Structure 1
């Protein structure tokens, strides 16, 4: 994106062909959009932008260094349209002419407003179109002759109904519930637009639904962002029990509160506010039950693309901004979005900052149900169910396995040991980032506690005493061919100390387990 010299917006860099996306008040005068008179009602007017290519494959072709954000945006939209639309996938598409049009629709007070950028495609003599929503970039941009709608958000009537429906469907399917009697020691009460910290031991004993809670999983981010995180400490816990001013929250927690309220869930768990951040003992105790906290939540809420706690996750950001210049020569911005139903890309979650954070690994696989908010879509996942707001079933299993609680609860010891190995095999030290390397084992302490109870076995640096013969069957991954000197350096005890050299947890490189060895598991 490129910002103009005097503009607060990050406008898209446009090539000569895409400059037609920019609008001026004089352009609207030329279009001569008018309010309908009696007998002339038309729900929409389509304006040809004189943007045409004879083959969609050439949309983003530009000389080296002459990048166009709009062309790249259009290329992505058309690519996902081909994947999404079954009738298109069946066509032998060689040349697809493409044209662009702005669509104005009749709104309140019988006035036309800019609604969408329409991409018209004509493959093999057929005709299709894709409507990309157009809105105001900010609330300040709504008062223009374009009569733009508010910017898109993941929280709207349609998405709320969808999330509630999918979550209730998961609950009603009688999937394994970890522990209906469990509730975290502290929760945020989000009812009645007043936020406060509650000690759950003081809550009235009622049915489980009245104590439903969501659990936020997100990235704090590096400094200086992490230090701006509002935290509960021994000094301010009494104040937080009275009230937590919502203006003092970082944006990611504000958004989580909004989601929790929209889902009609009374409580929310957030690590920064529900763990005493200056009490080592409390921190260790809560880490040990982290699996239960996320596993028993009505839903985990994942802010997948928020790089830090100051970046929210509810605004749809899969968009480009283009300028609109008024008669008074002031510049406003309109936002053009990818259609949400076209964005079913597992990579936008698997490659997100959230997926690369070490602590979120345990939070993710421990969750019974999880809502993942990406730049342009919402994904809901459970052990048995994956779907997005576009209606597509999405397969994540190779990326995002979740605890097999049925096996852990009622399987044989051999099966439970195998489940542990399969879970740990998903850890990638190079990928899963931790602010402190010594947090590696604490970041999976909750899962280890669950397995320890089921196995009645001693846990040692990621391995199990009664299954040591299998636990030691791991190998360091070979991502390169180090020199002899580099190899010797890698074999030295790393600093800071994390685990003994015989444990996979001691490695900075990726590792793998010899998962399926019947000769080793026989008789176990």
Structure 2
């Protein structure tokens, strides 16, 4: 991918959007990893972990654990998913790993606000995102137990099978394996997946996803056409547009030659893609009600860069009349704390 695809440049976020902290996992089999401040880093490569926290709170960075993590912690003391992520990062020959719960101070509101504000850039700047797709919590690990034998398929055919061949086509293959997995039901993960350049999904098998290719252990070169998601879907189009926006210098965002700008700096297709994404996102689960808009801030930033528009309480300012035309498809609960005015879709769960 790094040699032959257009996913590779640039691999690093701007200095202002570089993670403040990274875990140094080393390049060998050292049992100790350390938390490092990146103030003196020169855009070193890193990998991100996308995971479910679950009902049990994993080890986190806070005022009490900061000194111990900076000094060094035994990998064996980490939750299983974190341990596996360390192994994969080392196998990729990359020294640094970013995990939200260990790289953002969880008991410091100001630190969390700063780091969450550019989290989209953190995932976009990573060489790759490791996705714990089927793990329901941090103890689930990346690697699934699977049988050595595949269940047989019975097909009743009314033709001469000796002169023909049959293929067992699984409808919704990618959707069932990835989209409907526990990880991708989480709201924060919607943004992580959209902005990551490359993703390794650890599920019933290993899946690969980048801007130009999707593959898995069953189809290591590329998924067949029937297994691929619809390239014309609004969700796929949004991911493609975010990729191009990320590679476009901000100084060129409003030039007439920019592929995502019309004369008014607007692109209806981008907004339509956003609307489809928003509808799916609104069904995702949040641990903290107040994160509804924060969890998609990175995507809103990218679209704002391309259009010159501004997201106001979840609605685009330039299209405020159209954006007000939303309705609930099913009964919805109200958040425990106020987070948006009642005219915004973000005001309901």
Note if 1:503 corresponds to 2:344. yes
Contact kept, 8 Å, 2:120 with 2:191, in 1: the verdict is: yes
| Alpha-carbon distance in 2 for matches of 1:399, 1:317 | 34
Question: Where does 1:222-301 land on structure 2 (aligned, <5 Å)?
Answer: 222=55, 225-226=56-57, 229-301=58-130
Segments of structure 1 that go 5 or more residues without pairing to the other structure are: 1-166, 320-335, 480-485, 509-524
**Bigger mean CA deviation after superposition, 436-445 or 179-188:** 179-188
Alpha-carbon deviation of 1:285? 1.0
Contact kept, 8 Å, 2:266 with 2:307, in 1: the verdict is: no
1:462 corresponds to: 314
| Alpha-carbon distance in 1 for matches of 2:344, 2:11 | 29
Alpha-carbon deviation of 1:431? 3.4
Q: 1:271 to 1:237 in 2, by over 3 A?
A: same
Alpha-carbon deviation of 1:430? 6.3
1:197 corresponds to: 35
**Bigger mean CA deviation after superposition, 190-199 or 274-283:** 190-199
- Partner residue of 1:212 out of 40, 45, 52: 45
Contact kept, 8 Å, 2:235 with 2:273, in 1: the verdict is: no
2:203 corresponds to: 374
Note if 1:425 corresponds to 2:273. no
Q: 1:424 to 1:184 in 2, by over 3 A?
A: farther
Alpha-carbon deviation of 1:288? 1.0
Is the partner of 1:362 in helix, strand or coil? helix
Contact kept, 8 Å, 1:216 with 1:268, in 2: the verdict is: yes
Alpha-carbon deviation of 1:386? 1.0
| Alpha-carbon distance in 2 for matches of 1:284, 1:186 | 15
2:213 corresponds to: 385
Moved over 6 A (4+): none
Q: CA RMSD in A?
A: 2.8
| Alpha-carbon distance in 1 for matches of 2:298, 2:282 | 22
The CA deviation string for residues 297-339 of structure 1, in whole angstroms up to 9 with x for no partner, is 000110000000111012x3232xxxxxxxxxxxxxxxx3449
| Alpha-carbon distance in 2 for matches of 1:355, 1:306 | 11
Structure 1 length-normalised TM: 0.52
Decide which structure has the larger Cα Rg and report it: 1
Contact kept, 8 Å, 2:7 with 2:212, in 1: the verdict is: no
Q: 1:399 to 1:234 in 2, by over 3 A?
A: farther
Alpha-carbon deviation of 1:454? 4.1
2:23 corresponds to: 188
Contact kept, 8 Å, 1:350 with 1:399, in 2: the verdict is: no
| Alpha-carbon distance in 1 for matches of 2:281, 2:336 | 15
| Alpha-carbon distance in 1 for matches of 2:7, 2:81 | 31
| Alpha-carbon distance in 1 for matches of 2:169, 2:116 | 35
Contact kept, 8 Å, 2:12 with 2:126, in 1: the verdict is: no
Q: 1:174 to 1:426 in 2, by over 3 A?
A: closer
| Alpha-carbon distance in 1 for matches of 2:139, 2:200 | 20
1:64 corresponds to: none
Alpha-carbon deviation of 1:293? 0.5
| Alpha-carbon distance in 2 for matches of 1:453, 1:424 | 17
Q: 1:307 to 1:168 in 2, by over 3 A?
A: same
Note if 1:476 corresponds to 2:305. no
Is the partner of 1:195 in helix, strand or coil? strand
Higher relative contact order, chain-length normalized (CA < 8 Å, sep 6+): 2
Contact kept, 8 Å, 1:476 with 1:507, in 2: the verdict is: no
Note if 1:443 corresponds to 2:295. yes
Structure 2 length-normalised TM: 0.77
| Alpha-carbon distance in 1 for matches of 2:169, 2:199 | 18
The CA deviation string for residues 387-414 of structure 1, in whole angstroms up to 9 with x for no partner, is 1122241413559632523257432021
Contact kept, 8 Å, 1:371 with 1:380, in 2: the verdict is: yes
Note if 1:168 corresponds to 2:20. no
Is the partner of 1:426 in helix, strand or coil? helix
| Alpha-carbon distance in 1 for matches of 2:334, 2:191 | 26
Contact kept, 8 Å, 2:234 with 2:274, in 1: the verdict is: no
Contact kept, 8 Å, 1:463 with 1:503, in 2: the verdict is: yes
The CA deviation string for residues 412-466 of structure 1, in whole angstroms up to 9 with x for no partner, is 0212x64244134224366311122222111112222333344444431112223
| Alpha-carbon distance in 2 for matches of 1:378, 1:243 | 30
Contact kept, 8 Å, 1:499 with 1:506, in 2: the verdict is: yes
Question: Where does 1:481-496 land on structure 2 (aligned, <5 Å)?
Answer: 495-496=336-337
| Alpha-carbon distance in 2 for matches of 1:453, 1:173 | 21
